[in-house]
Amino acid sequence: MKKHYLLLLFLVSSIALQAQTSAKQYVMIEHFTNSKCSNCASKNPAFFTLINQYPNDLHHMSVHPPIPYSSCGLYLANTTENNARSMFYGVFGTPSVALNGVLQPISTPLLSNVTLQEYLGNTSPLWVEVSESGPNNARVATVEAHSLSALPGGAYQIFAAVVEKTVNFAGGNGETVHHNVFRKMLTDINGNAFTPAAAGSSAQFTFNFAINANWNPDEIYVLAWVQNTTTKEIINSGTRFDPLLVGAGEAVPQTIRIQPNPVQESALALIGEDTAQQVEMYSSNGQRISASFENQSVGTVVIPASTLSPGIYFVKITGEKGVYVAKMVKK
């Protein structure tokens, strides 16, 4: 994990950034679902198909309230905190979602692309940087909240949660795989006091925790966010998987989407009206990987991936007009 963090620092320091006053705002989706709820089983697949199209743009966490069934096994794993997070929004039915702290009306589909698009592409005065290290019995998560410009006035709290990326569990409604399952809070369930640092400075928080015997340590990560607890607006969120700080109006670097993602044979990167000159690829442990590419036309880059081992990779494309970065997952 330390190598992974150093990789991110390397990528940041290797690109000359202009002074930044804002960062990319990730869409944080809190997904309230229940492993015994048949309605959840019917709506969740389309929901995941939608959000999986935006792997570099959002953070997802599934919370399990006792609605409609208090016998849900994932709810029973942490009844107090699953209850509290659901009550924070006044959740009264499952499945339902909150986007950046705004509880959406219960609907079919659970989340439409039109609604999601309203939250994508925004910026924030705050960048939430997360790094992790340590063995299973002594994990350390460091959260650094960088104030790139002054935050609007508000009653802010910082939250940090332990999340399990993939949980294989047959709860009774037909779903056997559950994604980004909320396991426990590292902060108080209501958050810890947070005073934004002055513009250009940061506030740092350290959390120590151990991996529960019932969790898969390879799937555990920390999701952190800063929230105005009066309005419930989430200012920004972060995980260790976020590759770069991205500023508003920056010519370089720019985050781009790679499709399909996850990839099996090859992926297509779109770089606007630019032409790629070089493609670099790094594995999640920091190893530089030889990368070939093909230009189909101005603005498109084909990245062969058939020989890559399954895992997470960071792609850096240098074009004639700018530099572009993305996270790519190989199946």
294: CATH: 2.60.40.10
Which residue carries 């508003």 as its tokens? 248
- Asked if residue 57 and residue 31 are part of one domain, the reply reads yes
- Distance separating alpha carbons of residues 72 and 6, to the nearest angstrom: 40
At 82-102, the pLDDT tens digits run 999 999 999 999 999 999 999
Q: In which domain, by residue range, is 317 found?
A: 254-330
Same domain, 32 and 86: yes
Same domain, 48 and 104: yes
**Same domain? 148 vs 297:** no
Which residue among 249, 269, 298 closes a domain? 249
**Do residues 99 and 155 both lie within one domain?**
yes
In a domain, 218, yes or no: yes
Query: Are 161 and 223 within one domain?
Result: yes
Assigned domain for 234 exists:
yes
Phi, psi of 203 (to 5 degrees): -115, 135
The answer on 314 and 224 residing in a single domain is no
Q: How far apart are CA 223 and CA 161, in angstroms?
A: 5
Domain for residue 300, yes or no? Answer: yes
In a domain, 13, yes or no: no
| Rg of the chain over all Cα atoms, to the nearest angstrom | 20
Strand partners for 103: 98
> Does the residue 287 lie in any domain?
yes
The band of 292, judged by pLDDT with boundaries at 50, 70 and 90, is confident
At 295, the pLDDT band (50, 70, 90 cuts) reads low
Q: Do 71 and 145 fall within a single domain? A: yes
Averaged pLDDT for residues 103-131: 95
| Residue pLDDT, tens place only, 146-192 | 998 999 999 999 999 999 999 999 999 999 999 999 999 999 999 99
- Statement to judge: residues 259 and 219 lie in one domain: no
Q: Specify whether 231 is located in the same domain as 271.
A: no
pTM equals 0.72
Measured distance CA(214)–CA(136) in Å, rounded: 12
Provide the pLDDT for residue 20.
60
Q: Is residue 155 located within the same domain as residue 31?
A: yes
- Taking Cα atoms as reference points, which of 67, 6, 89, 61 lies closest to residue 283? 6
Q: Is the pLDDT of residue 56 over 90?
A: no
Dist. CA 37–CA 174, nearest whole Å: 9
- 199 and 265 in a single domain? The answer is no
d(Cα 81, Cα 159) in Å, to the nearest integer? 13
- Distance, in Å, from the CA atom of 64 to the CA atom of 179, rounded to the nearest integer, reads 12
167 sits in the region (left: phi over 0; alpha: psi -120 to 50; else beta) called beta
Q: Are 52 and 71 in contact (CB under 8 A)?
A: no
Where is the domain boundary, 208, 228, 249?
249
How many domains does one find in the chain? 2
pLDDT for res 213: 95
Establish if 3 belongs to a structural domain: no
Question: Are the C-beta atoms of 65 and 97 separated by less than 8 Å?
Answer: no
**Average pLDDT, integer, range 264-285:** 83
Res 35 pLDDT > 90: yes
CA dist 62 and 95 (Å) reads 10
> Domain boundary at 210, 226, 249, which?
249
- H or E, element range at 8: helix 2-13
- Amino acid occupying residue 186: L
Mean pLDDT over 209-224 rounds to 96
CA atoms within 13 A of residue 58's CA, in its CB half-sphere: 23
| Coil, helix or strand at residue 218 | helix
Mean pLDDT on 261-280: 88
In a domain? residue 8: no
In a domain? residue 4: no
pLDDT at 317: 85
**pLDDT > 70? residue 24:** yes
